[in-house]
């Protein structure tokens, strides 16, 4: 895989990551104040779930970047 294809691949992957991670995070944060007043346990669980998802997605992106650019060089 050449370097241009690797860059295009990473941009597409980041776009997919935006849809899968940032948009649900915005939905959770928009409803969080009301949920926090009514059910704090559920709100804490959702925040923890979003945080863990972001953490593992960052590891996934780092691994794919290493594989992609390692294969390109």
The two three-digit tokens of residue 17, written as one number = 């990551």
pLDDT band, very low/low/confident/very high, at 71 (cuts 50, 70, 90): low
- 19-28, 33-42, 44-53, 64-73: the lowest-pLDDT one: 64-73
Listing DSSP states for 27-71 in one string gives HHHHHHHHHHHH-HHHHHHHHHHHHHHHHHHHHHHHHHHHHHHHH
Number of residues in the chain = 73
Q: What percent of the chain has pLDDT over 70?
A: 95
Rounded CA separation 65/41 (Å): 36
* 33-52 confidence digits (pLDDT tens): 888 888 888 888 888 888 88
For residues 46-66, give the mean pLDDT.
80
């Amino acid at each position: 895989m050449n370097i241009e294809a690797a860059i295009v691949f990473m941009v597409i992957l980041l776009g997919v990551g935006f849809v899968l991670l940032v948009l649900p995070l915005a939905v959770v944060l928009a409803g969080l104040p009301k949920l926090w007043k009514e059910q704090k346990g559920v709100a804490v669980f959702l925040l923890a779930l979003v945080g863990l998802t972001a953490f593992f997605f960052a590891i996934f992106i780092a691994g794919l970047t290493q594989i992609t650019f390692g294969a390109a060089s």
